[in-house]
């Protein structure tokens, strides 16, 4: 007999269902942000400097809640935050999907740009020096030490000649230079003039005599007056001046003004002369007649010393 086994149904195994596990809560990694002055993301006011920071937190379509400092944010599934944080470290703690996680936001204030010093020092040197010597080779001449100031600080202040140097006869230029730590420099100079004479000069310069004058104006505040600088002579030579005060061309008030002129020679001998200028306000006195001078011819003479000739002439 033929044995036929009973039929066995064919079974196809069911496919295993694919499972995907979504993290219940996702927060950013720790963040570090540096402020940037001048950018829209950085805010500075009287309370400090703040930086705008944006971050997001997800919680699988469940409620998500984040808290930091005195602030809090709440959303469903996705929480996006964009706020200003002060300089320092802030801990943000978030909860959702049955878990809790934290991360930090650190705000670093940018380093300020270094200040570049471009201001040079200021220096004050001696006035020009004039001196006389009986040594034909020259003379030792002391002078004041230059003073220098700077907005940060003077590093060096040096002159190409030191005080007390033996200067030859003639004129020598002394240049002094000051510098600061940033390398800014400034220089100024003065001259030392040594004049030789075989004898000690004690004779001061002599001015030509100058007559006082009277001028008129109708302005109660006075008038400007220009005058020729008086001639001056010296047995060796005038090397300073002549200078006059008040200066020529200045405004003289109504009344009497004394003008004094001075000059000096290499030995330091000083001579001076004074004359007065009387300003009359004719509008106040009623006198409108302007004085006139008698004509005088020009004078031409040949010098009899190195620097000129003493000359006498009649007052017009």
- Asked whether residue 99 falls in the same domain as residue 130, the answer is no
φ, ψ (nearest 5 deg) of residue 218 = -110, 5
Residue 157 inside a domain? The answer is yes
Mean pLDDT over residues 190-214, rounded? 90
- Checking if the pLDDT of 196 tops 80, the result is yes
**Confidence band of 11 (pLDDT split at 50, 70, 90):** low
Residue 313 located in a structural domain: no
Tell me the two tokens of residue 112: 């300020």
Residue that terminates a domain, selected from 78, 108, 138: 108
Least confident of 1-15, 155-169, 192-206, 236-250: 1-15
Say yes or no: 266 and 210 in one domain.
yes
CATH code at 52?
A: 2.60.40
Q: Where are the beta strands (DSSP E) in 38-110?
A: 42-45, 48-68, 71-86, 88-96, 99-108
Q: Is 294 among the domain residues?
A: no
- Asked which of 163, 196, 229 is the last residue of a domain, the reply is 196
Q: For the whole prediction, is pTM greater than 0.85? A: no
Q: Are residues 171 and 237 in the same domain?
A: no
**135 and 95 together in one domain:** no
pLDDT tier at 21 (50, 70, 90 boundaries)? low
Question: 215 lies in a domain?
Answer: yes
Its domain, for residue 220, covers 206-285
**Residue 155: what pLDDT?**
84
C-alpha distances in angstroms, 271 versus 132, 236, 243, 283? 16, 13, 11, 39
pLDDT of residue 146: 93
Phi, psi of 296, rounded to the nearest 5 degrees: -140, 140
- Give the Cα separation of 192 and 129 in Å (integer): 5
Which tokens hold the place of 266?
A: 């290499």
Higher pLDDT residue, 266 or 41? 41
The pLDDT of residue 38 is: 78
Task: Tell me the pLDDT tens digit for each residue of 238-258.
Answer: 888 899 999 999 999 999 999
pLDDT in tens, 93-128: 999 878 899 999 999 998 888 888 899 999 999 988
The token pair at 155 is 């590093």
**How many structural domains is the chain composed of?**
3
Mean pLDDT score across all residues of the chain = 86
Encode pLDDT of 171-189 as tens digits.
999 999 999 988 999 999 9
249 sits in the region (left: phi over 0; alpha: psi -120 to 50; else beta) called left
- CATH number of the domain within which 262 lies: 2.60.40.10
Mark which of 176, 196, 216 sits at the end of a domain. 196
Query: Measured between alpha carbons, how far is 143 from 85 in angstroms, rounded to an integer?
Result: 63
The answer to the question of residue 67 being in a domain is: yes
pLDDT computed for residue 71 by the predictor: 86
Judge whether 291 lies within some domain: no
pLDDT score of 17: 47
Say yes or no: 154 and 211 in one domain.
no
Residue 242: is the preceding peptide bond cis (ω within 30°)?
Answer: yes
Q: Is residue 92 part of a domain?
A: yes
Whether residue 103 is found in the same domain as residue 127: no
pLDDT band at 4 (very low <50, low <70, confident <90, very high): very low
User: Is the confidence at residue 20, as pLDDT, over 70?
Assistant: no
What does the pLDDT read at residue 294?
A: 76
Residue 305 domain flag: no
**What does the pLDDT read at residue 23?**
63
């Amino acid at each position: 007999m033929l044995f036929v086994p009973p039929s066995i149904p064919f079974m196809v195994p069911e496919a295993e269902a694919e499972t995907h596990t979504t993290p219940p809560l996702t927060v950013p990694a720790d963040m570090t942000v540096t402020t940037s002055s001048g950018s829209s993301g950085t805010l500075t006011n009287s309370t400090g400097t703040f930086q705008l920071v944006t971050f997001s937190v997800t919680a699988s379509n469940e409620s998500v809640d984040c808290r930091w400092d005195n602030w809090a944010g709440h959303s469903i599934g996705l929480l996006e935050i964009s706020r200003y944080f002060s300089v320092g470290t802030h801990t943000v703690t978030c909860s959702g999907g049955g878990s809790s996680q934290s991360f930090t936001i650190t705000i670093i204030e940018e380093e300020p740009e270094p200040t570049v010093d471009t201001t040079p020092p200021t220096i004050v040197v001696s006035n020009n020096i004039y001196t006389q010597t009986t040594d034909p080779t020259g003379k030792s001449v002391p002078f004041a030490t230059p003073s220098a100031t700077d907005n940060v600080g003077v590093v060096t202040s040096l002159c190409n000649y030191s005080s007390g140097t033996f200067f030859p006869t003639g004129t020598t230029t002394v240049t002094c230079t000051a510098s600061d730590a940033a390398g800014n420099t400034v220089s100024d100079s003065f001259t030392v003039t040594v004049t030789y004479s075989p004898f000690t000069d004690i004779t001061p310069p002599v001015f030509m005599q100058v007559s006082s004058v009277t001028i008129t104006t109708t302005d109660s505040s006075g008038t400007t007056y220009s005058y020729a600088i008086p001639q001056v002579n010296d047995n060796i030579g005038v090397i300073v001046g002549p200078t006059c005060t008040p200066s020529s061309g200045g405004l003289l008030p109504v009344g009497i003004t004394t003008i004094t002129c001075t000059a000096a020679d290499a030995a330091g001998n000083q001579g001076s002369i004074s004359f007065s200028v009387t300003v009359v306000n004719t509008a106040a006195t009623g006198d409108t007649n302007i004085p006139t001078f008698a004509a005088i011819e020009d004078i031409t003479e040949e010098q009899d010393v190195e620097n000129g000739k003493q000359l006498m002439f009649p007052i017009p």
